[in-house]
Every structure is written in C-alpha cells, then in structure tokens.
C-alpha cells in the first residue's frame, strides 16, 4: 500500500484575487456545461461581496447558516434540492466562508457524484469517485478546511462528529484573498485562528510523524506565533499571515493526526453544540498536564490580545451529560493513540476526562 499524499492543485493568492473567480468559472462552464452552485456564509447576505459575485442566470446561491455546524441531514437536504432542480451535474461548486461553509461545499460536491447519503461517507477513504469541481474561498482563517482532505459533519443520530476523509474531498481550486477576513470579530478571529496553532502543536507532539507534515506544521506554527505574539493580531499583515498559516496547517493535517485537544473539543461540540474554534480554546485553556509549555503560551496570547472565554460551560451537566462527553471524546482513537499511545484509555480515564470537563 502506497501512502500517497495530495494537496490542493491550484491556488490564487493575494488581495483582490476574488475578482478572478468569474474567469475561472466561465472557463469551466465552457468546457463542461452545467450551472454553478454557490454556498456563501450568511454573514455576507446583503453585502457587496455577494453583489459582485459572478452568478449567472440559472445558477443557484445558498446562504449557509453558521448557527449550527454542518450536519449530515443538512447536506442531504442540499443534495435533494440540487438534484430536484437540475438534470445535469453542476459545472462547479463554490464555497465562500469559514469552515462550516467550506465543509458544506466539499460534502455536497462529493455527494452529487457518489450518491446515497452524506453519512455513508463519514470515515476514511469511503468516497469512491471525484466530486464536482469545487472552488474554496476562505473568509476567516484557522481551520485549514480550505486545504485539508476532510469535511467535518455532525451525525446527530449517531452522536458522532466525523469527516469524509478522502483525497476527493480536497478542493480543486482555492482563492486566498486576504481582503476577505478583515470583518471578522475579534474573539472569533482568535478562536478560529487558534485552530491552526492547536493542530500544529498536537501534530508536532504526537508519535505519528511525517517529515513533510512536520515541515508544514512548523511553518504554520511559526506564522501563528508571529500573529498572536504581536501587538495587534488583526492588522493587515497579520490577517495575510494567518491566511497562509491556515492554508499550510490544512496541508499538514493530511500527513498527521491531532492529539488530546481535538477529541475533548469534539466532545464539547457534539454534546453541547459549542463551535469548533471556541471548543478548542476552552480545552486548550486547561491543558497544563498534557501540553504545559503550549498552555502557558496560549494564556499569554489570550491576555495580550484581550480575548476572553466563557466560563462554567459544563456547569449544568448531570452525570449522564458527563458520560456522553466522555463517550464522544474517547471514540477518537487515532488522535488519542497519536498523543498518548495504545493504552490511551488508561491515561485519559473517565474520571480524568470528567475532571478536565468540570474545569471548563
Ligand atoms: P464558521 O464557519 O462557523 O465561521 C465562524 C464565524 O465567523 C461564523 O459566525 C461566520 O458567519 C463568521 N464569519 C466568517 N467569515 C467572516 C467574515 N469575513 N467577516 C465576519 N464574519 C465572518 O467557523 P470556523 O471556525 O471557520 O469553522 C468551524 C467549522 O470547521 C466546524 O464545523 C469544524 O468542525 C470545521 N473544521 C473543518 C476542518 C477541515 O479540515 N475540514 C478543520 C477544522 C475544523
Ligand atoms: Zn481543528
């Protein structure tokens, strides 16, 4: 078995690069036929970005709500709406937004060519054929969803948050335009931006290492440190730096696993519906036992950037709630083995996890 890695084949980078989207889509439509489907973060509803998009007659634009993170049911609904409206496959799917919107675009693209239900593809390498040609345009930096080989979906029936991990999930084209994230609110910028930092420290502290993945992670981490260690994480140069860090962090994920933070964070997201970036930061804030140096560094960044976190998040949970938190954490075997070894259940015991969750 060859362990092959793939990254996004094409990316355009630079302020104003979104203006090139129309040309890319027109070339595609000429050679393939079919309409274009846009998924746009609801933040942009009524804003100039939407007015300027190259939406042609017959195309469809969906505004993606980010109130809840993407679910398998939500993806199935988009699939039904698109297949009911069109008899041919779209020429392109475009996702413009944060991780929620980019992952929605990726998942719908896979489903359109593979058929069935979104939940059939949650796992590793279950997507059989390439999806519809897809373009990703991130408007907030950190998750690396723009360059990773997964799209994370919550499956409510199974109490499971898991992606379609596949090389077919990788975008065919990215437009990385640093003018887009300038409107992101301060706390959100930090929470989502920290995803890159956390992915990288987890990978670099793990046992499942890969020299190329490590190089991506080290550079992404260095850029993140520049951003969060500077006086203003949101100045123009830092917005651009974080966009590059996020892209490189996403490339790193294909060659690595996360560690202890992401499984605990997934527990918070699954049981309490806390969004990924915030959930990560809530966990990172209490990681002294597992990542002592990085936890100190994280505290410093929060203080320097004047960012705060909610407290008492698990305060209303009963024993059953803590049991569900544990179950939806401990199922993340790959990252936990990466961080703690095969005997991870003896280290991250139910009691120890509950103790961590109680401090959140
Ligand atoms: P998000 O997509 O919910 O965006 C965060 C918030 O910022 C939203 O309220 C959104 O409306 C707003 N926003 C986005 N761009 C903006 C802009 N330019 N100006 C103002 N507001 C803006 O959150 P996220 O943190 O980007 O992504 C989280 C999602 O990504 C989760 O579902 C998570 O599971 C997933 N994820 C995916 C991967 C992957 O590799 N595919 C990796 C990590 C996380
Ligand atoms: Zn993450």
Domain ranges in the chain?
A: 10-183, 186-358
Confidence at residue 276, expressed as pLDDT on a 0 to 100 scale: 96
| pTM reported for the whole predicted model | 0.97
Q: Which fold has domain 10-183?
A: Rossmann fold (3.40.50)
Q: What is the largest CA-CA distance in the chain?
A: 60
Q: If you take atom 27 of ligand 1, which residue's CA is the nearest one?
A: 99
Contact in structure between 262 and 338 (CB atoms under 8 Å): no
CA 233 – CA 228 distance, rounded (Å): 5
Q: If you take atom 38 of ligand 1, which residue's CA is the nearest one?
A: 145
Confidence at residue 2, expressed as pLDDT on a 0 to 100 scale: 63
What is the number of the ligand closest to the CA of 103? 1
Distance 189 CA to ligand 1 centre (A): 10
Confidence at residue 102, expressed as pLDDT on a 0 to 100 scale: 98
Residues with CB under 6 A from ligand 1: 41, 43, 66, 69-70, 97-101, 103, 139-140, 142-145, 148, 150-152, 180-181, 183-184, 188, 192, 195, 250, 275-277
Residue 259: both structure tokens together: 């560690």
What is the number of the ligand closest to the CA of 49? 1
Q: Which fold has domain 186-358?
A: Dehydroquinate synthase-like, alpha domain (1.20.1090)
Atom of ligand 1 nearest to the CA of 69: 32
CA 177 – CA 146 distance, rounded (Å): 12
Mutate to test the pocket of ligand 1, among 15, 42, 43, 243 (most ligand atoms within 8 A of CB): 43
What is the number of the ligand closest to the CA of 179? 1
Distance 117 CA to ligand 1 centre (A): 23
For the chain (length 360 residues), average pLDDT per consecutive 10?
84 98 94 93 98 96 96 98 97 98 98 98 96 98 97 89 94 98 97 98 95 96 98 97 98 91 95 96 98 98 96 94 95 95 98 97
Q: Write out the chain in H/E/C secondary structure.
A: CCCCCCCCCEEEECCCHHHHHHHHHHHHHHHHCCCEEEEEEHHHCCCHHHHCCCCCCCCEEEEECCCCCCEHHHHHHHHHHHHHHCCCCCCEEEEEECHHHHHHHHHHHHHHHHCCCHHHHCEECCCCCCCCCEEEEECCCCCCCCCCCCCEEEECCCCEEEEEECHHHCCCEEEECCCHHHHCCHHHHHHHHHHHHHHHHHHHCCCCCCHHHHHHHHHHHHHHHHHHCCCCCCCHHHHHHHHHHHHHHHHHHCCCCCCCHHHHHHHHHHHHCCCHHHHHHHHHCCCCCCCHHHHHHHHHHHHHHCCCCCCCCCCCCCHHHHHHHHHHHHCCHHHHHHHHCCCHHHHCCHHHHHHHHHCC
Mutate to test the pocket of ligand 1, among 46, 64, 275, 283 (most ligand atoms within 8 A of CB): 275
């Amino acid at each position: 078995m060859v362990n092959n890695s793939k990254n996004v084949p094409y990316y355009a980078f630079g302020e104003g690069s979104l203006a090139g989207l129309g040309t890319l889509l027109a070339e595609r439509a000429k050679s393939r036929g079919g309409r274009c489907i846009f998924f746009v973060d609801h933040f942009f509803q009524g804003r100039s970005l939407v007015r300027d998009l190259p939406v042609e007659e017959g195309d469809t634009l969906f505004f993606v709500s980010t109130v809840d993170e993407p679910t398998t049911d939500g993806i199935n609904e988009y699939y039904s709406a698109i297949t009911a409206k069109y008899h041919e496959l779209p020429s392109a799917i475009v996702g413009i937004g944060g991780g929620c919107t980019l992952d929605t675009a990726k998942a719908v693209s896979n489903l359109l060519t593979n058929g069935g239900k979104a939940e059939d593809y949650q796992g590793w390498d279950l997507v059989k054929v390439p999806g519809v040609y897809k373009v990703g345009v991130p408007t907030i930096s950190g998750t690396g969803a723009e360059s990773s080989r997964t799209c994370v979906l919550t499956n409510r029936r199974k109490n499971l948050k898991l992606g379609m991990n596949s090389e077919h999930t990788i975008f065919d084209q990215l437009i990385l335009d640093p003018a887009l994230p300038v409107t992101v609110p301060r706390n959100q910028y930090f929470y989502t931006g920290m995803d890159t930092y956390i992915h990288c420290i987890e990978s670099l502290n793990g046992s499942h290492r890969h020299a190329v993945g490590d190089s991506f992670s080290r550079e992404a981490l260095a850029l993140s440190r520049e951003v969060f260690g500077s006086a203003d994480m949101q100045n123009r140069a830092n917005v651009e730096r974080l966009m590059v860090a996020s892209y490189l962090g996403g490339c790193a994920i294909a060659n690595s696993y996360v560690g202890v933070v992401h499984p605990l964070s997934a527990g918070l997201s699954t049981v309490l519906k806390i969004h990924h970036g915030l959930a990560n930061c809530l966990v990172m804030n209490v990681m002294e036992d597992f990542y002592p140096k990085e936890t100190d560094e994280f505290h410093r960044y929060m203080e320097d950037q004047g960012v705060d976190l909610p407290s008492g998040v698990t305060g209303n949970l009963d024993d059953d709630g803590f049991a569900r938190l544990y179950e939806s954490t401990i199922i993340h075997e790959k990252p936990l083995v990466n961080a703690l070894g095969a005997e991870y259940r003896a280290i991250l015991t139910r009691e120890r996890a509950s103790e961590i969750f109680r401090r959140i």
